[in-house]
Structure 1
Amino acid sequence: MVDVGTSRASAAPGPAGRAVDLVALTRLSTGPGAVGAILDWLATRTGGTAALVDVDGKTLAAPSKHSAPAPTVLAAAATEVARLHRRGTSSAVLDGEPDTIDVVRAGDAAARVPYLVVANRPERRPGVVLADAARILGLCWRVAEAERTSDRVASAMSQSREAVLHLLMIGSLAAAQRIAATLGPRLPGVARVFVVECPAGRRHQIGDQIERFARGRAWIVPCPVRPHHLIALVPPEREHRLDLLIAEGVPEARVGASQEVPLRETALGYEQAFHALAVARGVPGRYARFDRHTDLTPFLGGRGPAWAAGFLRPCLTYVPARRADPGAEELLATLNSWLTFDGGAGRHLKIHRNTLAARLRLLGDLLGLDLTRLADQSAAWLALRLHAGASPDSPAGPLDSLLATPAAVVWARSRLLPLDAGPPAGVETLRVWLRADARLPATAAALGISAPATRKRLARIERALGRSLLHAPSAKHELWLALRALGSL
């Protein structure tokens, strides 16, 4: 073994040859995958094998088009790299059979940088090109490391923001505010929720656009359930015509915006924005704002929360057999997520589909429901929206008696009023679709038309009502309750 400086070489090329090598290395350093590309070039240039090894002996990179050095070569090089690092020596040559191993530090001595290892026949030593390649390779490695670190930070930030959104959606306001205060910006007390539908690759660009327009006051999260959606909470003073700006700036985008909602009602704002997005898909401007309507819950009076508490009592009083099993609050959050996102609930809750299915079976057993039926889903949907502070000892009573009040009937008529002047056969199509548990093939068969024709009818009903039907969050539960209140189901 012989120590050598990085300025020495056993077979230095002429000035013209070295200039050609430097031009090639410079070009490779500015392209994609620069580290691998330079190692590929170096292996070809020297006729040997090359690798990048860290001071702990781990192989960090090897040529993609050539085989890496043999395990025996890498083992010898790893031992030598550790010795060189301890001594602060920049390079060494290991004599061996059949190859000679060159080891050169790829960077400044003060930094913990990797070493370039090249194995070659003694008569084909790489010469000065090895020192030049090591310097450029070290720069490329540091750039790649910085990019990886930046990506990890961005990923952690994105996951933290997603966690805040999840807490808001399940009503854990205090926890969401604590995390948001650490990440910044602080969550607004009142906000308008935007849902932007766009190509997945454009979400970052649109997020930056919203950030600039809102001057750092917006809370922006890529949707964890739908890869083509971006969710933004924007304070009222920063959202003026933001939907129009996005639609004009990104022609392939569609934008739905909610009414202004308190932070504790973020889940409601999201549903409003999603319903507005269903309208935006069919209008020339590609953006729409939620058309406010009176919610059912105020029309049910004091009986509503009491009925909901009785309905949910088996779940509210449930005590899991094991500490690791989900408790009442987690089960209700699962039910709410499933009723909102359907099959996307697993992605929203970050649980396996088998775990989701097991929780839904438990909920069905506890509540005595068949959660594949729209009727039972709609009752659970209403109970979750009414559940607020009533005693779980309240009697549930039948749902029909709750919906039979004159006030509930007035609400139901107002909800379906747009269909009176809307698409032909709108009410009948909606009724058949709801009777078929919102399943498209069964609806088409009952109507005697094709599935595409049925889908077109439902899309026209979506536009008339200003509500999403075919995509979750869907208004199917609300509309089932309206038709039930009118005695049409």
Structure 2
Amino acid sequence: MSRSDDVLKLHRLAHAGGSAALLEWLAARLGGWAGVVDAEEGRGPQSAVRGVAEMNARGVRSAVLHGSGSATLLFALDGGRALAAVLEQPHDPGAPTLLADAAVPLALVLRAEEAVLRDERAALAESRAREAVLHLLMNGRLSIAHQIAEALGPALPEPMRMYVVECRTGQRAEVARLCQELTAGRAWIVRCPVYVRHLIVLVPAGPAAVSADHDPLAGALVQVAPDCTVGVSAEMHLREAPAAYTQAFHALTVARGRGERHARFGPGPELALAAHEAGAGWAEALLAPLHAHRPRRPQDPAGRNCAPPPTPG
């Protein structure tokens, strides 16, 4: 295999498989051990760890250490680390050139992987902070909740409507982005710490944003995210966050059985007024066996001790 083939292979591996795939191929290609060594961490063969420490102390970019029957080849990366290979003697004469060529794509892919890791840690920290704000709201500690929320952005809406959005596992980040777009960045969004498929969204309550049968935001959300189901609370103040969550959660249960896949919690007619005589008749027929019951033993409760239900209306 020519040097150009090796270089092309290294870049392809770095792009497709990352640092792990590149190092694995290097080890197989050279017939030895290959890895990234940091003297402060002290991981890896001792000859490589000592070699990196000496390189850093002398300020050199490459080194070769000969031991009993082996050679340790080192090429500096950033952050005091080095690409190291421990090879039995005699080793491939092209090993130094191959390692030097590998150091460049390896350094780049390591930076990219570390950037992704930092982003993931930052996202996790923000998610935990948003969960903390939610807990503060649920416990009535509004002042501290406001302070943390304003640092994260946006400010907590007052008054607000609370939305509980149910989506597929792994889809919450995309749905959160859609919520931000649909509310022009005004929604305050937190991943539910209990249900892994739920997002809790606090949205400023507009003067006529929602009717009893229609919610523009919920309707738009289920249109762009067809697998979502949305429950919406009534307009409430932040101090009423526990009640708002209960309302939105109940509305979500209703929404699962609706073709629109969204529902808003709202007042309805009293059951007695809605049922009228039909309700009274149904209740009387259902409870008739209980009222007609006669106990076998004197100490058992009798039907005559059970008060009949009140008549609706």
CA distance in 1, matches of 2:159, 2:49: 59
CA distance in 2, matches of 1:39, 1:425: 75
Larger of the two Rg values belongs to structure: 2
Per-residue CA deviations over 1:19-77 (Å, capped at 9, x if unaligned) read 11111111111124x11111110011111111211241433xxxxxxxxx6xxxx2222
Q: Does 1:228 align with 2:200?
A: no
- Aligned positions of 1:116-135 closer than 5 A: 116-125=83-92, 126-135=95-104
2:19–2:110: 8 Å Cα contact kept in structure 1? yes
Q: Structure 2 residue aligned with 1:241, among 206, 212, 216?
A: 216
Corresponding residue for residue 19 of structure 1: 4
Cα 1:418–1:78 shift into 2, 3 Å: farther
Q: Does 1:260 align with 2:227?
A: no
Q: Structure 2 residue aligned with 1:271, among 225, 242, 246?
A: 246
CA deviation after TM superposition for structure 1 residue 167, in Å: 0.6
CA distance in 1, matches of 2:77, 2:283: 71
Corresponding residue for residue 16 of structure 2: 31
Per-residue CA deviations over 1:379-428 (Å, capped at 9, x if unaligned) read xxxxxxxxxxxxxxxxxxxxxxxxxxxxxxxxxx9256667779x97999
CA deviation after TM superposition for structure 1 residue 86, in Å: 2.5
CA distance in 2, matches of 1:280, 1:202: 19
CA distance in 1, matches of 2:136, 2:264: 25
CA distance in 1, matches of 2:185, 2:232: 19
Per-residue CA deviations over 1:158-190 (Å, capped at 9, x if unaligned) read 000010011101111111111112221111111
- Aligned positions of 1:388-407 closer than 5 A: none
Corresponding residue for residue 47 of structure 1: 31
Give the AA of the match of 2:6.
D
1:259–1:292: 8 Å Cα contact kept in structure 2? no
Q: Secondary structure at the match of 1:123?
A: coil
- Aligned positions of 1:178-217 closer than 5 A: 178-217=147-186
Structure 1's consecutive aligned runs of 4 or more residues displaced over 4 angstroms after TM superposition are 415-422, 424-429
CA distance in 2, matches of 1:50, 1:35: 11
Deviates more, 1:74-83 or 1:42-51: 74-83
User: What is the aligned-residue RMSD (CA, Å)?
Assistant: 2.7
Q: Aligned residues: percent identity?
A: 39
Q: Does 1:154 align with 2:10?
A: no
Cα 1:417–1:256 shift into 2, 3 Å: farther
2:165–2:198: 8 Å Cα contact kept in structure 1? yes
Cα 1:427–1:283 shift into 2, 3 Å: farther
1:419–1:427: 8 Å Cα contact kept in structure 2? no
**Structure 1: where are the runs of 5+ without partners?**
1-15, 60-68, 294-412, 430-483
Identify the structure with the greater strand proportion.
Answer: 2
1:113–1:138: 8 Å Cα contact kept in structure 2? no
Per-residue CA deviations over 1:77-130 (Å, capped at 9, x if unaligned) read 2122122113221110000122111111124xxxx2421110112322413110
Cα 1:105–1:282 shift into 2, 3 Å: same
CA distance in 2, matches of 1:209, 1:58: 45
CA distance in 1, matches of 2:247, 2:274: 17
TM-score normalised by L of structure 2: 0.82
Q: Structure 2 residue aligned with 1:101, among 64, 67, 72?
A: 72
Aligned length: 280
- Aligned positions of 1:60-459 closer than 5 A: 74-107=45-78, 112-125=79-92, 126-237=95-206, 241-292=216-267, 414-415=270-271
Give the AA of the match of 1:29.
A
Identify the structure with the greater helix proportion.
Answer: 1
CA distance in 2, matches of 1:188, 1:280: 24
1:419–1:426: 8 Å Cα contact kept in structure 2? no
Q: Secondary structure at the match of 2:267?
A: coil
CA distance in 2, matches of 1:136, 1:41: 13
Give the AA of the match of 2:63.
A
**Structure 2: where are the runs of 5+ without partners?**
287-306
